Amino acid sequence: MNESQNIQAAQKGDLAAFNRLVMAHQGLAYNVAWRLMGSADAAADSTQEAFIKAFKSIKQYRGGSFKSWLLRIVSNTCYDQLRYNKRRPTEALEDDNFDSDYAPHLIDHAERPEEGLLRQELGDMLQQAISQLSPDQRLVLILSDVEGFSYQEIVQTTDLALGTVKSRLNRARRKLRDILLKQELLPQQYRQ
């Protein structure tokens, strides 16, 4: 069964068909959630909740990119959780400090250990920098520069105008660049 057939079956209540869609998209959904949330555990919870919401609302899916439709649900679920964490900051503070020691599934075992550590350390620093952006800027930056979405896909996913996506991504990149310069992750020659 291809994706559209699985979607049609899932719309008729076929949970097995929906689970095939889950298996096809769970990696992307989890990564987006992880970068948005900054915490592996919170990302897993949000991803699971988003898939449940998606199954319950799949009858409202009217065609188009299923990936974008699904990621919109994931991002909205993450926004809800971030707003909840903001109201209860004591629980969110620890989660924002991502520690790869607690996410062994992120380590690429094909790399040499020292390379993997450096890469992991850089990834942690980038994640901390991303977490300093607003959630809206974070989302377009992740979709574009981490997940490689086109502007059109970002428009479909975020339901924003193209101009808004362009300007928002431009601001997000500049802000992140400034953060990385402060952390000396970028060469000092780019300081202005």
Q: How far is C-alpha 184 from the chain's CA centre?
A: 25
φ, ψ at 83 (rounded to 5°): -65, -40
Q: Which amino acid type is present at position 107?
A: I
Residue in 2, 60, 90, 192 binding other proteins, rule: CB under 8 A? 192
Residue in 39, 75, 85, 120 binding other proteins, rule: CB under 8 A? 120
Q: Which amino acid type is present at position 134?
A: S
Q: Examine residue 66 and tell whether it contacts other proteins (CB under 8 A).
A: no
Query: CA–CA separation, 76 vs 173, rounded Å?
Result: 22
Q: Examine residue 174 and tell whether it contacts other proteins (CB under 8 A).
A: yes
Q: Which amino acid type is present at position 43?
A: A
Q: Examine residue 95 and tell whether it contacts other proteins (CB under 8 A).
A: no
Asked if 37 and 81 count as a contact pair (C-beta separation under 8 A), the reply is yes
Q: Examine residue 161 and tell whether it contacts other proteins (CB under 8 A).
A: no
Query: CA–CA separation, 116 vs 134, rounded Å?
Result: 29
Q: Examine residue 170 and tell whether it contacts other proteins (CB under 8 A).
A: yes
Query: Where do contacts with other proteins occur on this chain (CB under 8 A)?
Result: 13, 15, 18-19, 22-23, 26-27, 29-31, 34-35, 40, 44, 47-48, 51-52, 55-56, 103, 105-108, 119-120, 122-123, 126-127, 141, 144-146, 148, 151, 166-167, 169-170, 173-174, 176-177, 180-181, 185-187, 189-190, 192
